[in-house]
């Protein structure tokens, strides 16, 4: 697909909506269109976090396997979600599995490429970081709520 | 335990009448739904509650979870969490319990006509909003897009699964269900109920939202709705406090300037957002 088309798709994702043309072009240079079939894994726990996935269609199940319990889903991510935040901090390693619940269409951003561009242009780095921070904070809030077990039996 | 059902005494709001259990259904372990008859009962509006009593044990406020167009069927869904609810949960068909009501300010469902409606429920909070859903489905043409976002603790704790399936099959209401903790075999959403807002289709400017569930969940949901552009006074919550008299006399359910039993239990987020974050209340 032509870069023009990719730029349009990247711009159409909530994460980068409203990003300026120059930055959008730079970010899109790290992007590729990807598809996953149902039950295919986007990545596995322990692997190097080399991609960021911007989900366009379908749902991804984020899971951790536990002895005797099989895989346990702790979160699902649907269209306009971001899957993969581990690319942001060393050691850049996935800490869970990501499995396609059905057919997935997504934009994969190459983490090495995006990190290098952010390092080279702090203004871009700041713009990108500002867009990832809300997702990080939102996940923290949601995790807190899950841990509070608010639907549990009182007392 | 069976007693003849007496005509309801409407002269003294503190005197319960005897309501007979016509049907009992175990929804999930620890949660039962009773269908009661209480001659003389005047019917209810969605969101109102009755005071149900087990004589010699206690009295508790429980929202009506049935359909307001069927006033002869008084439906309550009760979770077994305390002495009174435990005792009530053990009653069987033909047994009786005390009933006073209905009380409280209802959900303004009719006022939402012509608008999109988003219903957000968490856990047992699906029961108090079920009358809204019955009303919306029975008068579907009067409303815009209708969305139910429901969060439960685990897949096994999802309430009214048969009805959720039936409502989904009608294809005129968007229903999304998520669980905080998935079990093996669960293929649906995982995460807190507010994660469902991202995929919900509604026009914020013309949306009325009804939210019911644990208070923390309601705060998060109301904030997510306001973040999405829904006005605070178009977001309605059903509050729960220690309701004892049910008619605003005793003061046990006071929440800031409000008596929840009389001024609520349904309030706008505009009314509640400050008092809900005061931990002393």
The domain ranges of chain B are 17-103, 110-277
Omega prior to B173 cis, within 30 of 0 = no
pLDDT of residue B228: 92
On whether residue A155 sits in a domain, the answer given is: no
Question: Could you tell me how many CB contacts below 8 A there are between chain A and chain B?
Answer: 75
Report CB contact under 8 Å: B213, A72: no
Residue at A37 is within a domain: yes
The mean pLDDT value for A57-85 works out to 91
- What's the CA angle centered on A10, arms A6 and A15, to 5 degrees? 170
B contact test, residue of A145, A147, A152 with most B CBs within 10 A: A145
Dist CA A32 CA A108 (whole Å): 5
CATH node for B110-277 = 3.40.50.80
Question: Is A121 buried (19+), middle (13-18) or exposed (0-12) by CB count in 10 A?
Answer: middle
Q: Tell me the CATH number at A60.
A: 2.60.120.10
A153, pLDDT greater than 70: no
> Which of B195, B199, B223, B241 has the most A C-beta neighbours within 10 Å, making it the best mutation to test the interface with A?
B195
Whether the predicted pLDDT of A154 surpasses 80: no
Q: Which of A14, A59, A155 sits opposite B81 (nearest CB)?
A: A155
Residue B147 in contact with residue B202, Cβ under 8 Å? yes
Residue A109 domain-assigned (yes or no) = yes
- A145 to chain B: which residues are within 8 Å by CB? 180, 192, 194, 216-217, 220
**For residues A40-69, average pLDDT:** 93
Q: What total number of domains does chain A contain?
A: 1
Nearest Cα residue to A131 out of A41, A66, A40, A52: A52
pTM comes to: 0.89
Single out the residue of B19, B33, B63, B5 nearest to residue B212, CA to CA.
B63
Pairing verdict, β A104-110 and A31-36: antiparallel
What pLDDT was estimated at residue B140? 93
Note the pLDDT of residue A65: 86
Q: What is the pLDDT of residue B145?
A: 95
**pLDDT 10s per residue in chain B (281 long)?**
445 555 555 578 888 999 999 999 999 999 999 999 998 888 999 999 999 999 999 999 999 999 999 888 899 999 999 999 999 999 999 999 999 989 999 999 999 999 999 999 999 999 999 999 999 999 999 999 999 999 999 999 999 999 999 999 887 899 999 999 888 788 899 999 999 998 889 999 999 999 999 998 999 999 999 999 999 999 999 998 888 888 888 888 888 889 988 898 999 999 998 888 777 66
How far apart CA A106 and CA A59 sit, in angstroms, is: 10
Instruction: Say yes or no to pLDDT of A128 above 90.
Output: yes
Question: B201: helix, coil or strand?
Answer: coil
Q: How far away is chain A from the Cα of B188, in angstroms, using its nearest Cα?
A: 8
Q: Does residue A153 lie in a domain region? A: no
Distance between CA B136 and CA B128 in Å, rounded? 14
In a domain, A84, yes or no: yes
Q: Which domain holds residue A93?
A: 3-148
B153–A145 C-beta distance less than 8 A: no
The confidence score (pLDDT) of residue A5 equals: 83
Per-residue model confidence (pLDDT) at position B1: 47
* CATH domain B17-103 topology: Elongation Factor Tu (Ef-tu); domain 3 (2.40.30)
**Bridge partner residues of B265 (DSSP):** B105
Give a yes or no: residue A154 inside a domain: no
Give the model's pLDDT for residue A155: 42
């Amino acid at each position: 697909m032509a870069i023009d088309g990719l730029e349009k798709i990247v711009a159409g994702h909530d994460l980068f909506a409203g990003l300026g043309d120059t930055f959008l072009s730079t970010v899109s240079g790290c992007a590729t269109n990807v598809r996953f079939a149902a039950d295919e894994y986007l990545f596995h726990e322990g692997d190097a976090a080399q991609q960021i996935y911007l989900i366009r269609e379908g749902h991804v199940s984020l899971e951790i396997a536990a002895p005797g319990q099989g895989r346990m889903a702790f979160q699902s991510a649907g269209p306009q979600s971001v899957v993969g935040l581990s690319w942001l901090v060393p050691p850049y390693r996935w800490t869970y599995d990501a499995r396609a619940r059905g057919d997935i269409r997504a934009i994969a951003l190459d983490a090495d490429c995006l990190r290098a561009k952010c390092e080279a242009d702090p203004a871009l780095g700041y713009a990108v970081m500002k867009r990832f921070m809300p997702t990080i904070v939102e996940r923290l809030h949601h995790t807190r709520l899950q841990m509070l077990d608010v639907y549990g039996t009182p007392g | 335990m069976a007693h003849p059902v007496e005509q309801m005494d409407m002269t003294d709001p503190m005197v319960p009448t005897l309501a007979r259990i016509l049907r009992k259904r175990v929804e999930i372990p620890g949660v039962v739904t009773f269908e009661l008859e209480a001659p003389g009962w005047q019917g209810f509006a969605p969101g109102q509650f009755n005071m149900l009593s087990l004589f010699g044990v206690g009295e508790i406020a429980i929202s009506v979870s049935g359909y307001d167009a069927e006033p002869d069927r008084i439906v309550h869904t009760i979770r077994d969490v305390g002495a009174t609810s435990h005792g009530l949960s053990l009653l069987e068909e033909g047994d009786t319990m005390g009933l006073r009501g209905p009380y409280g300010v209802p959900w303004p469902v009719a006022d939402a006509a012509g608008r999109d409606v988003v219903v957000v429920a968490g856990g047992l909070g699906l029961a108090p909003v079920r009358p809204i859903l019955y009303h919306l489905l029975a008068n579907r043409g009067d409303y815009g897009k209708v969305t139910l976002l429901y969060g439960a603790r685990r897949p096994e704790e999802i309430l009214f699964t048969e009805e959720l399936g039936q409502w989904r099959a009608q294809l005129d209401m968007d229903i999304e269900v998520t669980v905080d903790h998935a079990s093996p075999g669960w293929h649906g959403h995982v995460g807190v109920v507010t994660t469902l807002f991202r995929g919900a289709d509604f026009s914020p400017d013309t949306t009325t939202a009804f939210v019911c569930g644990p208070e923390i969940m309601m705060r998060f949901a109301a904030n997510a709705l306001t973040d999405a552009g829904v006005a605070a006074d178009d977001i309605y919550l059903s509050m729960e406090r220690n309701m004892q008299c049910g008619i605003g006399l005793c003061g046990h359910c006071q929440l800031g300037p409000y008596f929840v039993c009389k001024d609520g239990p349904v309030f706008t987020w505009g009314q509640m957002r400050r008092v809900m974050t005061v931990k002393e209340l």
